[in-house]
Amino acid sequence: MRKSTGAAVFVSVLMIAGAAAAQGVLVDAAADRVIKKFEAATCDQLKAQKNEPPSEKEKIGLDLLRDDPKARVAFIDKIAAPVLNKMFECDIIP
């Protein structure tokens, strides 16, 4: 009885760890995409995009970040420097 309970707990822990790792991969991929978007865009393009509403994919991503503080911290930590530097260069932020 103990072996099967231990195995069940182990499998559960692996599943949770796998889900967290998968979410981490998604957050990294989304952050990389945002960084590439900012690096490739001109200042005029960024200023024009600022007023556009988010796409459905972006809305889903934003909802995930609102609902998961750990994912939000990981995302912001990764994009903060490159995105804010570009925004500063483009006079989008003071």
Collect contacts of 65-72 with beta carbons under 8 A, ≥24 apart: 68/23, 71/23, 71/24, 71/27
Q: Is residue 45 part of a domain?
A: yes
Q: 37 is in which domain, residue-wise? A: 23-89
3-39 residue pLDDT tens: 444 444 444 444 444 455 557 888 899 899 999 999 9
The pTM assigned to this predicted structure is 0.70
Number of domains composing the chain: 1
Domain-located, residue 57: yes
Q: The tokens of 82 are what?
A: 């490159």
Furthest-apart CA atoms within the chain: distance in Å: 66
In a domain, 1, yes or no: no
Q: Does 2 fall in a domain?
A: no
Cα of first residue to Cα of last residue in the chain, in angstroms, is: 64
